[in-house]
Amino acid sequence: MSPLLLTTSARPEQPRPVFAVPLPPSSILQDCLSVYLSTLAPYPSAHTCFSQSGMNPRSHLAPGLIELIAAVDVLVNGKPCDCDIIADCGVGDAVSLEVQLTNLSKNAVGPLALTVVPYQDFQNGVLNYDLEEAVTFIGSNSFYIDTVKPRETSVCAGALLFLYTGDFYLNIKFQDDSARRELPLAWFTLPSVHIRALDTPPQAGA
């Protein structure tokens, strides 16, 4: 208060991404997880960060690491939300957060761990993660995801409260939580979710 994608082809040397570390070139290919954070009808996909053959400029991952990732979406209060869409909520109101993981590979993957970390961005290069008195989770901010079979979907659902007004962001991180420790833990972080806490709750339909 979580990762794992690579290709078999060699990729040119490039700057290391901020939130991802290089992965072994082929040893965990069969355990690759294609992450698909889907939206619920009638809402269209609000934010596609990753494609099957390249990288969206908004992604934090290097091009060679995300070939198998399909799309990324997060649901806040039942609606798609990301760094380009601000989700409004009322101070003290429970805010639901849902993440859906779909295994698009041909092999079972997992277990995985998912962690949600709130922070504030002061727009001057300073990020504040000390929000214990401003943000509280209803339950845990971490989720355990058991083995996900091919074409199956695992849903992580939680909720949190914002106790003060302001703009907040959620870092959603995935980690390989398997017991095979011969490989280094591999992380990736999705683009941050932007939530604005208001004194007056947003009107229905707004």
State the residue range of the domain holding 110: 69-180+191-198
Q: Are 175 and 112 in contact (CB under 8 A)?
A: yes
Number of other residues whose CB lies within 10 A of the CB of residue 36: 18
Query: In terms of pLDDT, which residue wins out, 110 or 117?
Result: 117
Render pLDDT for 14-34 as a digit per residue (tens, 0 to 9).
444 333 334 334 333 333 333
Strand ranges in the chain using DSSP code E only, listed in sequence order: 74-76, 79-81, 86-90, 94-102, 112-121, 127-128, 135-138, 142-145, 153-162, 166-176, 187-189, 193-198
Residue 43: inside a domain: no
Render pLDDT for 142-165 as a digit per residue (tens, 0 to 9).
998 888 888 888 888 999 999 999
CATH of the domain at 155: 2.60.40.3880
pTM above 0.85, yes or no: no
Residue 41: inside a domain: no
Residue 35: inside a domain: no
How many domains are contained in the chain?
1
